[in-house]
């Protein structure tokens, strides 16, 4: 399956489907594990960020590659009902950047 077909695939999700929201800039192992813990058939809302490392499309493609994810949409395309259902996923970016700096002596 071309996982890019999951992007923009579901503007609405069934009331019983798990929904998550986050920046995923970039998606980390901890964030992937948090998404997987929500179950399968997951709709993920990817937020836009002001100081992004990766553009929205790249982040959406990375998230879409996860087996537990069925659909990826932007926050702008999400309905108020879908946003209300969404479980926030804690951003791990600061920890990732700190680890990279530590490993590279900066």
- Cα separation, 86 vs 17, in Å, equals 10
Average pLDDT over residues 70-90: 92
pTM of the predicted protein model: 0.84
Is the confidence at residue 104, as pLDDT, over 80? Answer: yes
Mean pLDDT for the stretch of residues 24-50: 93
- DSSP code of 7? B
Under the banding of pLDDT at 50, 70 and 90, the label for residue 8 is confident
**Secondary structure in 3-state letters for 52-92:** CCCCHHHHHHHHHCCCCEEEEEEHHHCCHHHHHHCEECCCC
Residue the block writes with tokens 């809302």: 45
**Assigned architecture for domain 18-103:** 3-Layer(aba) Sandwich (3.40)
């Amino acid at each position: 399956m071309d996982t890019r077909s999951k992007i923009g695939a579901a503007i609405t999700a069934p009331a019983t489907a798990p929904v998550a929201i986050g920046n995923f800039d970039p998606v980390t192992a901890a964030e992937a594990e948090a998404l997987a813990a929500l179950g399968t058939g997951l709709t993920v809302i990817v937020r836009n960020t002001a100081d992004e490392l990766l553009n929205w499309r790249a982040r959406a493609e990375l998230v879409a590659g996860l087996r537990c994810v069925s659909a990826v949409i932007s926050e702008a395309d999400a309905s108020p009902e879908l946003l209300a259902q969404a479980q926030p996923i804690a951003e791990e970016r600061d920890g990732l950047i700190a680890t990279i700096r530590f490993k590279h002596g900066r």
